[in-house]
Amino acid sequence: MAGVWVYLWRTLRLQRWVKIVGTTALGVLWLVSTPMMALVLERPLITESLPVIDANNPSAWAPEYIFVLSGGYELGDAPEADSAGLETARRVHRAVVLWREYPTATLVMAGAQPGMDGIREPNQQGLIMQDLALHLGVPLQNIRIDAVSTNTASHADIARTMRGVSSSTPLAIVTSDFHLRRSRHEFARFFDNIRMIGSDPDITDDSLADVRLSSLMPRVDALRESSVYLREYVALMVSDLRYKN
């Protein structure tokens, strides 16, 4: 793309403002396509607040409900052939690990996949997540499905209407690392006793210590990640505007 722009710059009589805008846009695209910028964009989104596990202290914080926010699923030729997407699978696995520390808690599989009207039942996402949790050893009586909410804001909105849940109920919210800040933003509107748990494996986490010269070179996967993170910032701003109005 840079080569095409240089060719156009040299062969066409571009107006000065076109050159400035084009060069700036190309520079921004290069920047957000680098692993370094993806790391910088992701850091503020990771707002994990892990509970302190203390089995010897009966008054220690413990969740009554563990909300597992859905991350989509992959369609198969039939409902029984559908499968959990990567983010959904990671979230369920992390939630089950947490549930093993708090086996009296109830897992809430939160969310229906949008755009599936007439293709799948609204509870299909929840059933896929439930099957995975059952396979990992969670009893059916410890699982509930929210088949109504379709986004982060409605996950929180539906949660506050659930039987047995109040504003002070201790809740654990499990979602992808990049989604933690927005999830906390939405759930904190209605609940004041929450903990945020990220589902990304520690082995995949990057830090500033991992920055190399190659981190300044554009990569397709880095652009994809930066796009996701930028969308999160936009969604946070839209959320604030929605509630202010």
- pLDDT, one tens digit per residue, over 221-240 is 888 999 999 999 999 998 88
Q: What percent of the chain has pLDDT over 70?
A: 83
Quick: pLDDT tens for 122-155: 999 999 999 999 999 999 999 999 999 999 999 9
Please report the pLDDT score of residue 208 as a whole number: 56
CA atoms of 238 and 196, how far apart (whole Å):
21
Give the class (CATH, top level) of 44-204.
alpha beta
pTM: 0.85
| Cα 14 off chain centre by | 43
Q: Domain ranges in the chain? A: 44-204
Task: Give the three-class secondary structure for 238.
Answer: helix
C-alpha pair distances (Å), 129 with each of 70, 71, 150: 8, 10, 15
For 148, other C-beta atoms within 10 Å of its C-beta total 16
| Rounded mean pLDDT, 209-217 | 67
CA atoms of 4 and 213, how far apart (whole Å):
25
What are the φ/ψ torsions at residue 77 (nearest 5 degrees)?
-70, -20
